[in-house]
Structure 1
Amino acid sequence: MTSTPATPEAVSPEIPDFPPPRSSECPFAPSPEMRALSAHGPLTPVRSWGGSTPWAVTGHAEQKALLSDARLSVEFTRPGFPSPVDPAHAHAGSTDLSFVGMDDPEHARLRRMVSGAFTIKRVEAMRPRVQKMADDFVDALLDGPKPADLVQSLALPIPSLVISEMLGVPYEDHEFFQTNSKAIVSAVATPQERQAAHTNLAAYLDELVGRKLVEPGDDLLSSLCVRIESGELTRRQAATMGVLLLLGGHETTANMISLGTLLLLQHPGQLALIRDTDDPAVVRDAVEELLRYLSIVHLGRRRTALEDIEIAGHTIRAGDGVILLGELANRDPSVFPEPDRLDITRDARQHQAFGAGSHHCVGQPLARMELQVIYPTLFRRIPTLRAVEGLDAIPFKYDAVIYGLHALPVTW
């Protein structure tokens, strides 16, 4: 007797709502309601906007397979795409983030134009410069008043300065692009506010591209101008690629710096291993474990099935939405024993904090290097660093699609 693969309607009569809110009682981990999804197996249907029932993928192996499956589309305009905002307002709030929202082959063509700037060799050549930045910002922090907000004094400015220099964006404009980036990744901003923020950044990058077409420099935007002149790229495409790289290059890393710092302050033994080591491998392993444990992309990577896909005893039908929950894959006990325990000595390299497949984060070597520099520098230079307030008083970003901290008051 053959079995019939399960579909969303056939799996459970009680489909949970998605996304469940994060819990202030466990701010570093997925909420109990989110964790409960794994109890249904590696795939389970959830109820989202308008009563739609996309698949939530919680298993590590299943996510790795699906993230590499060309039968899943990232294009958010496709019917069935599980939008993170109400589809009734999706058009008003839609933003063009270049190749992130494209399928191959166009995704691959555009991505290749910037990927060379983020190779491990290129990024490692930048390490001394990033170390100098880290030391300079720590100097300023020590010379300034106490308490200080670590987000505004260190976590946000360093990655902002790094990506500004890479792109050729004037760092003196950081307040402008940080404010608009914050609106784009907000989960509570109106669609109109998100669209306005994207329009502001796109116009800003377009103006910069125009200037570099006349006076190119030694930066990534200038290299895109060469593509414009050769006919491989339009000026608008170059500007939207600039928006993507500027936003992604500072927003995610800034949140990892502040959130990881706060987490380590709660685990002084783990912090001491980073602070006291001279072994770069120890720091590298620590960063991988922090990426696994925190999983700041906390509302899932979203796809639409182009064809029927059978996986783990279920059938994802063509047109079904799929939400791949990295925060649950990164706590899959079959891959990470005792997944709720922070252990910076574990081998956490199989985590999916940066996704997988052809759409894995293009800037992950840069993010890793920045974190490897900043955590040990901060803790060695300020060994008495401590948070001013308890966890219940610290403003976590429950209202954003990229998780982190709005502020982290510290003293020493």
Structure 2
Amino acid sequence: MTHDHDPHADLHGERGALPGEHPGRARDPIIKVHDLAWLEFEKPDLKRAELFAGAFGFTTSLSTRDELHLRGTDAGPPCVIVRRGPGSRFLGSAFRAADDGDVLRLADATGRKVESLPEALGGITVDLKDPSGARVRVVSGTHELPALPGQEPLTFNSGHGTARVNAAQRPRREPSKVQRLGHVVLQSTRFRETLDWYLRHLGMIVSDFQYFPGQRERGPVMGFVRCDRGPTPADHHTLAMNLGPSNRYVHSAFQVCDLDSMAAGGEYLLDRGYQRSWGIGRHIEGSQIFDYWRDPDGFLVEHFSDGDLFDCTLEPGWKPFSASTLFQWGPAPTMDFLGIKPGRDSLRELRETIGALRDDNEFDLHRLRGFLKVATS
């Protein structure tokens, strides 16, 4: 007699650390950031970037010859800042401090200067670099853009419920309005060192760790990291990091109101010739419903909805890392999403892999074998 087995059973990270493993938080962090503020990019064609941004669901809050600010419907600073440049590249992340005092405290601890941000943003910043070389801004006192009208979630007749009577469901095929910036995912050749830097300097805490199958004793290779707001719940991850052969931006995620908004917005993007990378599905870590797209410059961006919220009391979960742990339902991860689609980007990753193996970092032959096993699983 056989029994059906759910391949996703026991994959939700409830299993905790073993004695001596990484605790997932710093003992005495310098400050505790409250959230991501915005992401910064450089692109050669701001008009093309703005056209995609509108289709994706952003609202333009500033557009000049040399700079583009993209916002969501929630009150706050812009979600994305794009500056004109000769090429396309990710410039860095800005995190929001609790107040000016935390910015000053962090500057004093790191020997860096506090500087004023441009008038369009307001406030102050201390600019740092993490061990992987990524620029990290910690800001406070920035201008608060007022909230904009957003999309309302649809009313559902769930099961035998009758919340909707004498009314049909007709989601409009229109851009799925971005509400806010949710998280950014980065890859590092020095995962452990870089992770510890964020925990120590920004007071972030790990929600879930993942390790390569058969390599748990060598430590985690992926961390889903949230802001520590004490008893106030925060997103399951505001920053996610994985060990890999290069230091690079992986993707960023932006919240929308619900699945129908996401699906109708996806049809809108497809109608205009944009490339879906992977979706629609539901993640395991963070539980978000997701839909991934490539912008015209090749950057991976995500619509998400219905994510997990954790307070400071939850300790990290631990589990092995594989492609199947990325989703509960939906299509299998694509070669494009996993970064193994043949082309210029995969050739660059191959060159960087060879270079990483020659350098003194955490990405060695054992890690390469684990990395390839995940990508092809």
- Choose between structure 1 and 2 for higher RCO, CA contacts under 8 A separated by at least 6 residues: 1
Structure with the bigger percentage of helix? 1
Tell me whether the two structures share a fold, i.e. TM-score over 0.5.
Answer: no
Which TM-score tier does this pair reach, normalised by the shorter chain?
under 0.3
Q: TM-score, normalised by structure 2?
A: 0.28
TM-score, normalised by the number of residues in structure 1? 0.26
Bigger fraction of residues in strand: 2
